Amino acid sequence: MAVEAAVSRYLAAGHIDEVPDDLAEPHLNVIAPEVRETRCRVVETATRLWRSAGDDPARLAALRGFVEAGEGPPDVIEGVETLLMRLLAGSRQRLAPTEIDWAIDELGLRDPQNPILTADERRQIDERGYVNLGPLIEADHLEAIRHRMDDAIAAEGDQSGREVSQMHGIGRLSGTVIKSMNRDGLLDVFFSHPRLLAVVRHILGTSFKYSSTNYHCPLPGYGHQNVHADFGWGADTPENVNAIWLIDDFTEDNGPTRVVPGSHRWAEHPSGSRVDGAPRDLNASVPGEQRVLGKAGSCFVYNAHLWHSGTQNRSSKLRRAQHAFFTRAHRPTQMDVLAALDAVTHARFDRLQRAILDLPAP
């Protein structure tokens, strides 16, 4: 199919030679039943162990007890241990906790009832698990961002997104705000907008940090994902927050995100969930799911335990978005920040930005 020049610059990054003739033809992620069953058992078990305790030392003790008991298939035991140990191996906070504490005061976020969010926004976050903060980026800024992203995708080509994940049919970039592409601060808004940080504070409390920023652009005909949450198993207390900055309008047909309102409260991960005893079909729609539509420049923020996924872009255009991912200050980050950090960009960050990024002064 003939595509616009803007789309053709994304083909290498999306690992495709051309966009399909039929943009509605499904491209599902098929997982072999035995792999899916093992995965389901791993995630179910991790969820049970995590929820059996209220803090990390007790979770670690529960994990050790489970491993020592050795009950269950070895691949399940090993899978659970690998999954949980990534978080339970000790604090990964670089800065003294007083730095994020200082930032919280600077941002006016100390009081949980601070005026940066409305009471209704807080209610939406609590009850539905997400809020659309509306357009926060001006049109000319947004246009400059589009050019920056398109150029970076063309420059990184089939290497783009490698630091976190690459996806067939989706143009991805990792660590956008800490790389050289952000030397002039054009992209700072993605991780430091005060309204976004107010949502992060509302969900995670006052001790949090940047985990990664992933640019995510489903190409025409692609973009469907398995329903998932942005945390590896079910948890009854929030660990992560994600934001989706809409760089293009999200419409019914260009692959808007699907979300399952209220699912952040289920303390269950789709991969560890069963329907009539069988592992859930992650490609299928979930009862109650909704699509997130909105204007370019809007910031949609969600509790990362919310069930959600990308959907197929059935339009002939790009659907550009930027994710900004946050975690608790002592947790590991999704991306190795120091490995990707550009020295010039680092030197430009001020104390407040470094506190959010958990970065020492250069």
Ligand X SMILES: O=C(O)CCC(=O)C(=O)O
For residue 39, state whether it binds ligand X (rule: CB under 6 A): no
For residue 79, state whether it binds ligand X (rule: CB under 6 A): no
Closest C-alpha among 43, 53, 246 to residue 136: 246
d(CA 321, CA 89): 33
Q: Shortest distance, CB of residue 69 to ligand X, whole angstroms?
A: 34
**Of these, 197, 282, 310, 324, which contacts ligand X (CB under 6 A)?**
310
Look at the block and give the residue holding tokens 């089939």: 158
Look at the block and give the residue holding tokens 């069930």: 307
d(CA 70, CA 52): 18
Q: Shortest distance, CB of residue 55 to ligand X, whole angstroms?
A: 28
For residue 308, state whether it binds ligand X (rule: CB under 6 A): yes
151-159, 179-187, 298-306, 307-315 -> range binding ligand X (CB under 6 A)? 307-315
For residue 176, state whether it binds ligand X (rule: CB under 6 A): no
Q: Which is nearer to ligand X, 26 or 74 (CB)?
A: 26
**Of these, 137, 199, 321, 329, which contacts ligand X (CB under 6 A)?**
321
Closest C-alpha among 318, 323, 288, 329 to residue 302: 323
Q: Which is nearer to ligand X, 128 or 216 (CB)?
A: 216
55-63, 137-145, 185-193, 302-310 -> range binding ligand X (CB under 6 A)? 302-310
For residue 14, state whether it binds ligand X (rule: CB under 6 A): no
Q: Which of residues 237-266 bind ligand X (CB under 6 A)?
A: 244, 257
Strands (E), the chain: 130-135, 170-174, 208-218, 240-246, 258-259, 274-275, 278-279, 290-291, 298-303, 308-309, 321-328
6-14, 190-198, 303-311, 325-333 -> range binding ligand X (CB under 6 A)? 303-311
Q: Which is nearer to ligand X, 257 or 353 (CB)?
A: 257
d(CA 213, CA 217): 13
The amino acid present at 145, given as its one-letter code, is: I
d(CA 76, CA 324): 31
For residue 216, state whether it binds ligand X (rule: CB under 6 A): yes
> Which residues, in sequence order, are CB contacts of 50 under 8 Å at separation 6+?
59, 84, 233, 234, 235
For residue 9, state whether it binds ligand X (rule: CB under 6 A): no
The binding site for ligand X (CB under 6 A) comprises 216, 225, 244, 257, 308-310, 321
